[in-house]
Amino acid sequence: MKVSQRETNIGEIFSKFIEFYIEPLVIFETERYEILYINEKAKDFLGNAASFSDIFRQEEYFNFVKLIRNCYSIEEKRVITFDKKNGKKGILLFNLYPIACGDHRVVIFTFKDITKKIKEKEEKRKKNAQLIFQDKLKSIDLVTSSISHEINNICNFMVNNLKITFQAWNDVFQLIREYEEENGEFIIGGIQSSEIASIIPKLMVSLIDGINRISDTIDDFKKYIREGLKSGFSLIDVNETVRRVVNILNHHIFLYTENFNVRLQESLPKIRGNIQKLEQVIINLLTNALQSLSERCKGIYISTGIEDERVYIEIKDEGVGIPSNIMPYIFEPFFSTKYATGGSGLGLYLSKAIIEEFGGEIIIDSGENKGTIIKVYLPYESENGKF
């Protein structure tokens, strides 16, 4: 195809093109650091002042300046967060094209607000994740039901056998006493015959306790799965939920600390929410607290209570603490200082979203080497919710 140069003014065509370009477009001079051109779409976005420093916080503005200053090759899909007029956070997507003009370098960039798109994507992802999760729960529920049936049968069988053994023990004990009276003290299984009367019943009671704990753990797990399958809101006993989570994480807790303390205030009013989601929040916060501990002798203290007409769950750790420079970002999605060890940076983000859905809030008090106190406040049910 032959391109006709006849009377065609490329500059004019180009200026028309950028003027009506579908997205906000800006031409920046990088030496003097000034805007050379800004199209209508960009003016609409930035307002009369046409200044980027108005829409970014200081740190974000610094990132924006760096992005343009260091742009020597085409940069696509660069993302910077910004403050929306309604006070909420937004996300801008930049495409940058540097162009050498004699001694100068200009950068042409387009940008667009992708906040809504990202939110929709996130919602879709959450919905899909929820569907997959529910599906998994259904199959786990099937498996746990049959396993727990088997285990409970074995537990019942063991308890019954122990009861019979215990009855037999009373007779055996009588024989031991008679033998002892005739022949003096002797040793049975490394234990003095005079002490055996108090030791054997204790051993049997601890065996029954152990069996009951196996049964309870299985029941807790079954309840956890069942609650997960109901996605609605119900009245929740916060203490019972904390206890169940601690039971489920028992082994995990033991790996991180030998100083684990739980102090729950009795007769707390019930709160309204989804049990499985509340359990998820406690698991996330407790896991963070455990991961922050540098040694097993450092402690964790969980407590519940009422403050300012709200129920609270407090998780206090003697861990490394949160340095003040990262504090503003810890609730942001994908912010993590633990990528190397498998962190995804979603724990606090999701926990905050869940607690806000319940009408509550999360407050953090922490500092480097100071440990961390996280308090979750939840509104309680004032009429039917009270015990």
Interface positions with ligand ATP (CB under 6 A): 284, 288-289, 292, 317, 319-322, 330, 335-338, 343-349, 372
Contact between 288 and Mg ion per CB under 5 A: yes
Of 204 and 248, nearer to ligand ATP (C-beta) is 248
Binding part of the chain for Mg ion, among 132-140, 229-237, 312-320, 345-353 by CB under 5 A, reads 345-353
Residues in the interface with Mg ion (CB under 5 A) total: 2
The Cα–Cα gap between 116 and 91 comes to 9
The least CB distance from residue 287 to ligand ATP, in Å, is 7
User: CB–CB of 275/236 below 8 Å?
Assistant: yes
The least CB distance from residue 341 to Mg ion, in Å, is 11
Q: CB neighbours of 375 closer than 8 A, spacing ≥ 6?
A: 312, 313, 314, 315, 362, 363, 364, 365
Long-range CB contact pairs, 59-67, < 8 A, 24+: 65/33, 67/94, 67/96
Of the candidates 64, 108, 116, the residue with the CA atom closest to the CA atom of residue 89: 116
Contact between 319 and Mg ion per CB under 5 A: no
Choose from ligand ATP, Mg ion, none: what does 317 bind? Cβ within 5-8 Å by kind: ligand ATP
The least CB distance from residue 333 to ligand ATP, in Å, is 8
Of 176 and 290, nearer to Mg ion (C-beta) is 290
The least CB distance from residue 55 to ligand ATP, in Å, is 26
Choose from Mg ion, ligand ATP, none: what does 330 bind? Cβ within 5-8 Å by kind: ligand ATP
Contact between 372 and Mg ion per CB under 5 A: no
Of 236 and 286, nearer to Mg ion (C-beta) is 286
The least CB distance from residue 280 to Mg ion, in Å, is 11
The Cα–Cα gap between 54 and 35 comes to 15
The Cα–Cα gap between 298 and 293 comes to 6
Residue type, 232: G
User: CB–CB of 64/85 below 8 Å?
Assistant: no
- Supply angle C-alpha 29, 107, 48, rounded to 5: 65
Environment class of 174 (CB within 10 Å of its CB; exposed 0-12, middle 13-18, buried 19+): exposed
**The one among 347, 352, 366, 376 contacting Mg ion by CB under 5 A:** 347
- Buried b / exposed e along 234-272 (16+ C-beta atoms within 10 A): eebbbbebbebbbbbbeeebeebbeebeeebeeebbbbb
Of 268 and 348, nearer to ligand ATP (C-beta) is 348
Choose from ligand ATP, Mg ion, none: what does 344 bind? Cβ within 5-8 Å by kind: ligand ATP
Binding part of the chain for Mg ion, among 83-91, 114-122, 172-180, 285-293 by CB under 5 A, reads 285-293
Angle between helices 347-357 and 275-291 (to 10 degrees): 150
Of 46 and 248, nearer to ligand ATP (C-beta) is 248
Of 172 and 363, nearer to ligand ATP (C-beta) is 363
Binding residues for Mg ion, rule: CB under 5 A, are 288, 347
